[in-house]
Amino acid sequence: MLVVGAGCAGMRAAIEAFDAGADVGVVSKLHPTRSHSGAAEGGINAALGNSAEDSPETHAFDTVKGSDYLGDQDAIEIFTREAPGDIYQLEHWGAVFSRNAEGKLAQRPFGAAGSPRTVFAADITGHVLIHVLYEQVMKRMALDPARMTVYEEFFAWKLVTDGTRCTGVICWNLLQGGLVQIGATATILATGGAGRIYRTTTNAYACTGDGMAMALHAGLPLKDMEFMQFHPTTMYPSGILLTEGCRGEGAYLINKEGERFMARYAPNALELASRDVVSRSEQTEIDEGRGINGSVLLDMRHLGAEKILTRLPGSRELAMTYAGVDPIYAPVPVRPGAHYHMGGVETDEWGRTELEGLYAAGEVACVSVHGANRLGGNSLMETITFGRRSGRHAAEWATGRRGAPEASSNGALADAERELGTLLDRQTGERPWQIREELGSSMLENFGVFRRGEQMERQIEIIDGLRRRYRNVVVEDKGSVFNNDLTQTIELGFSLDLAACMLQAGLARRESRGAHSRPHDFPARDDENFLKHSITRWRDGGPVLSYKEVRMTRWEPTERKY
């Protein structure tokens, strides 16, 4: 079986599949440890109850409420029940989590959490996890090289199907050039998020939504694509993240008058309200003239040097390098930035998609645990818990089919070669970078923290125009070795199609829920008409929208108060 993507979700899936007896191949356009999971800072949520009383039920309720009731409650209950075991597994594999005075795993408060439940390794949690998982992958490669292979720097471009099931992927070999088809009985997409659709984002250049677009183009449904989370503390001007862990450790948000403005928006939770609430509050301060250079300030001075140096050393370094500010002595300018895609490839609680043999896990997938708004710390946990679950199910399915006849690929490789030839043979046309720039800045302008009907309509026209121009882009580099010009052009095509899906679903959602906020025309949540998932399919070169019920177990929607 094949795992596409080697971040936390992909590697956790690969480890589990190997342990369940499958022969595993992992394809990644980056070296695994360069995957964007490594940038995660603040921590990973599980109800261990080490700092205060906690339980999986409380974690589930917080997640449901944080999702603005759009999360699927059966998936959320599985998630919060299995998370503690997954944390201990990581710890036994060598994850060096920070500890409290009793020697137990320390847990810090995060936004909208009813108890301090975020396990962390200072503020480099993702870095620690990605290295621990890579070690486990390498261990298995050493144990049985025939059963675990990592295809580093292979760019997956298309899913292959035989009409009824997924039979593998077509990849571009980044090091040597050329298309290759890798066949697999089961395939798990774990290609991460799509933040690069926006110009200002916390996401790396690699986060272009490839897996979502590949699934969409293979006829699969994407779920809840209108929900892009804006993180409240991204630095001005770079967009680089300062973790929610800063506020978890007690940092304040202040406006240009030095006022702790969250007291007006969320009098109880203050800076630890959920991300959608804090981002909207900041944006309101900025829009009403109480910001500085389009930012507000994150103030850590009162935490003291010792706490900053032990709990938040990475954040201090980032602030000094990218904002020129040492948070021990001065507040750091921050503003909301595109951060996390709550939507993605629709899966069930085992990572199964609608297409037999195809699974998805991690940020590319929509299980849906996060609904309309993700709680900080829940995404790393999702990559691990649902990475493991999809790895297990896919392995059992694939090993159960050993000896079955090879599936036909219907000439998919020849079709892909022709399409690539057309792109590379084009000698004149527009360069892709200008289109990418216009997509990123217009998305920020017209589909950001606050959304208006007429702006979304305009953005749909802009995206249509960009997609028309994209049909004539020219790839100037015709070479084989590390042809970034080619792969970035393909990534741009993916991002454009996903943006079209996001806008169509956003305009149609005539309510405000979680990260989708329409204060001017539809300021309230409308459970009667919109307590439902949006489902987007690709038909005749464009998105087509439908809806699906939210799965509820025990929590009826109530008003969110902070």
Ligand X SMILES: Cc1cc2nc3c(=O)[nH]c(=O)nc-3n(C[C@H](O)[C@H](O)[C@H](O)COP(=O)(O)OP(=O)(O)OC[C@H]3O[C@@H](n4cnc5c(N)ncnc54)[C@H](O)[C@@H]3O)c2cc1C
Q: Does 90 bind ligand X (CB under 6 A)?
A: no
In the complex, least distance from residue 371 CB atom to ligand X, rounded to whole angstroms: 15
Strand-pair category, 222-223 with 344-346: antiparallel
User: What's the closest the beta carbon of residue 93 comes to ligand X, in angstroms?
Assistant: 16
Query: How buried is 539 (Cβ within 10 angstroms: 0-12 exposed, 13-18 middle, 19+ buried)?
Result: exposed
Interacting residues with ligand X between 163 and 182 (CB under 6 A):
none
Active site residue 469: no
Reference 501, options 208, 229, 225; nearest CA is 225
- Per CB under 6 A, contacts with ligand X among 117-146 are 125-126
Amino acid at 194: A
Query: Taking CB under 6 A as the rule, does residue 203 contact ligand X?
Result: yes
Question: Which of 65, 117 has the CB closer to ligand X?
Answer: 117
Rule CB under 6 A: say whether 6 interacts with ligand X. Answer: yes
- Residue 19: what residue type? D
Give 96 or 292: the residue with its C-beta nearer to ligand X. 96
With CB under 6 A as the contact rule, the residue among 197, 215, 241, 531 that binds ligand X is 241
CA dihedral defined by 93, 94, 95, 96, rounded to 10 degrees? Answer: 160
Report d(CA 262, CA 514) in Å as an integer. Answer: 18
Q: Which residue of 2, 148, 184, 206 would you call a contact of ligand X, by CB under 6 A?
A: 206
The mark string for 287-326 relative to ligand X (x by CB under 6 A, - otherwise) is ----------------------------------------
Tell me the chain's radius of gyration from C-alpha atoms: 22
Is 7 an interacting residue with respect to ligand X (CB under 6 A)? yes
| Distance from C-alpha of 250 to C-alpha of 252, rounded to nearest angstrom | 7
From candidates 13, 22, 27, 46, binder to ligand X by CB under 6 A: 27
Instruction: Please enumerate in sequence order all residues whose Cβ is within 8 A of that of 433, keeping only pairs 6 or more positions apart, or say none.
Output: none
3-state secondary structure of 22: coil
Q: Which of 36, 59, 275, 518 binds ligand X (CB under 6 A)?
A: 36
User: What residues pair up with 165 in beta bridges, in sequence order?
Assistant: 356
Question: Tokens in use for 427?
Answer: 């000698």
DSSP string, 458-482: HHHHHHHHHHHHHTTB------STT
Cβ 346 to ligand X, closest distance in Å? 16
Strand partners of residue 312: none
Separation between Cα atoms, residue 281 and residue 544, nearest integer Å: 33
Q: Which of 190, 296, 303, 444 binds ligand X (CB under 6 A)?
A: 190
Of 318 and 531, nearer to ligand X (C-beta) is: 318
Active-site hit among 117, 199, 275, 311: 275
202 near ligand X, judged by CB under 6 A:
yes
Scanning 94-102, 186-194, 300-308, 419-427 for contacts with ligand X by CB under 6 A, the matching segment is: 186-194
* Residue 8 near ligand X by CB under 6 A: yes
Quote the least distance from Cβ 190 to ligand X, whole Å: 5
Torsion angles phi and psi, residue 267, rounded to 5 = -60, -25
CB 193 within 8 A of CB 203: yes
Minimal distance, residue 123 CB to ligand X, in Å: 8
Residues that bind ligand X (CB under 6 A): 4-10, 27-30, 32, 35-37, 39-44, 125-126, 155-156, 190-193, 202-203, 206-207, 210, 241, 243, 340, 362-364, 377-380, 383
**Where in the sequence numbering do the catalytic residues fall?**
275
